[in-house]
Amino acid sequence: MTEGSRRGLSLVELLVAFFLIAMIILPIMRSLPQSFGLAGRQADQEIAIKIGESAVNTLLAVPFERVSGAPGSQNISFEIETGSGTLPAQLLIDGANGTGSVRIGRTDFQIRIALKPEFSGPPQAPTALVFSFMDPVAPTPKLASYACPDPFIRIQVDVEYGQRGVPVSLATFRADLRQ
Amino acid sequence: MTIARKRSGSGFALFSVIIVSIIIFILAATLYFNTRSQTATHSRLAEQTKALLAARAAMQLAQYKFRMLPSEFYAVENARRTGLPAEVASFSSAWMRDFDPAEKTSPAARLSTSLGARDGGTYQLGIASFSLVTRFGKGYTRDFLRIESWGSYNGIKRSLETLLEVEITH
């Protein structure tokens, strides 16, 4: 084998090597930002869920008057547990609606709250919840029934974040358990 | 001799590139599948949170019913302490009917439907157990109730247990 033929072989080898690297690296270069973007959005979604859950738990714990949807505005403080510690936050409730915002890292989380007395009396109203108990062994079945005149408040908390993140939407009910 | 050495070295670059490419490919594939599995985990986290909040709604129902119909609850407890098994079952069933989402007009069913109406998912909520924990002798003015509620969202179920201190009203 001459020196010239050895050089040619090396060149082919390098070209094949470059081709292989291009075949492997280029698709990976394209998919890496997608993967990192997805991972970032997932982390934001997890934080959004925690913020929403903290807000709902706070609205379940404060005195009922504060979530009854009565006119007037008020501030409710709450805390969010994050990986780097506890972050204070505030909700501004105005009547049946509320808002809040939290910035964690580079992401802004917007909280929207809706408080709706979805179930309430009077007894014959279609929105009344009827609780009952029929004594199964009484000679004539004795029925105790209570149509709920008190409002069952639906607490709806939506947390939006980023431009491409799917908003988190959480809901529960709160009964009027005041004496 | 020199030529032979050079020949044995030929193919080294190609071999190295293939090895490095395989390593990069494995790392990228690991990252890709890891991200995909994380997506499923995060989706489950959202569903579990919704199920837990449904269980909280069920807990509110249970506490409200006890507040409105305490005598009926104690009738169930009396049957539990003194009655025959069949009697206990029928009393318990009568008390728990409101917490059964399968009963179409029960409060539990109505709350489940309401939660799912906006969300589009399938909610269910109910009470698994509702019992009196303490009531000893005379002079006690407070009881403890143990309530276990549950909620589910798109088939993912979460439970919640509460020990509730209540004033004896009769």
Q: How confident is the model at residue B9 (pLDDT cuts 50, 70, 90)?
A: low
For chain B, the structural domain boundaries read 50-167
| pLDDT, mean over chain A | 84
Interface confidence, given as ipTM, is 0.81
The pLDDT of residue B2 is above 60: no
Residue B103 phi, psi (nearest 5): -80, 115
User: Which tens digit of pLDDT belongs to each residue from A128-149?
Assistant: 888 888 877 776 666 777 777 7
Is B46 within 8 Å of A137 when comparing Cβ atoms?
no
Is A24 within 8 Å of B45 when comparing Cβ atoms?
no
Tallying the residues shown for chain A, one arrives at 179
In the block, tokens 């109203």 appear at A125
Cα A18 to Cα A8, A12, B82, B116, distances in angstroms: 15, 10, 86, 56
At B71 the pLDDT is: 87
B89 part of contact set with chain A, CB < 8 Å:
no
Do B153 and B47 meet the contact criterion of CB atoms below 8 Å apart? Answer: yes
User: Which tens digit of pLDDT belongs to each residue from A103-134?
Assistant: 988 889 999 999 999 998 787 888 888 888 88
Q: Residue B114: its chain A contacts at CB < 8 A? A: 118-119, 154, 173
Residue A78's contacts (CB-CB under 8 Å, 6 or more residues apart) are A54, A55, A57, A58, A88, A89, A90, A91
Quote the tokens at residue A155.
């607490």
User: Which tens digit of pLDDT belongs to each residue from B55-99?
Assistant: 999 999 999 999 888 888 988 888 888 878 888 888 888 899 999
B77 part of contact set with chain A, CB < 8 Å:
no
Q: How confident is the model at residue B37 (pLDDT cuts 50, 70, 90)?
A: confident
In the block, tokens 């489940």 appear at B112
pLDDT higher at A5 or B87:
B87
pLDDT higher at A12 or A153:
A153
Residue A114's contacts (CB-CB under 8 Å, 6 or more residues apart) are A96, A97, A98, A154, A156
Distance CA B92, CA A103 (A): 49
To the nearest whole Å, the CA of B139 is away from the closest chain A CA by: 22
